[in-house]
Amino acid sequence: MPHRRHRDSSNDYVEPDLPITPMLDMSFQLLAFFILTFRPAPMEGQIAMTLPPAEQGGGFSIPDPTAEKPAKYIVNVTATAEGQIQSITLREDGAAAVPRDLGGDVNLYFKELQNFSEQNKNKPVKLTLEIDERLLQAYVVQLIDSGIRAGFLDISPIPSEVKNR
């Protein structure tokens, strides 16, 4: 005699169903949004500088005769009306030589600075950039950058017009 099995409702097997489709839809939408708005950030860097302290008025210091005088290179830069480099001249402070005219060649300027830096390897060296006020920041940074790469640690960009300093 066949036994009829009584099904117990508490033992019903319910297959769990996690609806993945809406989640996948949303994920694709998010992915599309981020891909479309993705713009890799340019790598920012820094050039650390020190501003000279404000003029105190009347204060002065007696130079130390034993202190080594830094070798000083003065670069004069003129600009075109558009703010690009027109000419670069180099001279060593206190030297009798005629300033060297490099035209507008920044690579030549870099090589000259490298030579000067190598000649004064064991001496403190200072680079003063006398810059035409029309020169754009991109070129100012290019001149400072070349100076740092050539080995100068003390670089002062100042306006070429004395009255504006």
How far apart are alpha carbons 90 and 73 in whole angstroms?
Answer: 7
Shortest distance (Å) from residue 111 CB to another protein? 15
Residue owning tokens 């180099």: 90
- Asked if 162 is part of the footprint of another protein (rule: CB under 8 A), the reply reads no
88 within 8 A of 75, measured Cβ to Cβ = yes
Residue nearer to another protein on the CB measure, 9 or 37: 37
How far apart are alpha carbons 73 and 130 in whole angstroms?
Answer: 11
- Asked if 153 is part of the footprint of another protein (rule: CB under 8 A), the reply reads no
Compute φ and ψ for 72, nearest 5 degrees. Answer: -120, 130
Residue nearer to another protein on the CB measure, 123 or 134: 134
Q: What is the dihedral of CA 118, 48, 105, 123, to 10 degrees?
A: -20
Considering only 7-15, 22-30, 91-99, 115-123, which stretch makes contact with another protein by CB under 8 A?
22-30
Which residues are at the interface with another protein (CB under 8 A)?
A: 20-21, 23-24, 27-28, 30-31, 34-35, 37-54, 83, 131-138, 140-142, 144-145, 148-149, 157-159, 164
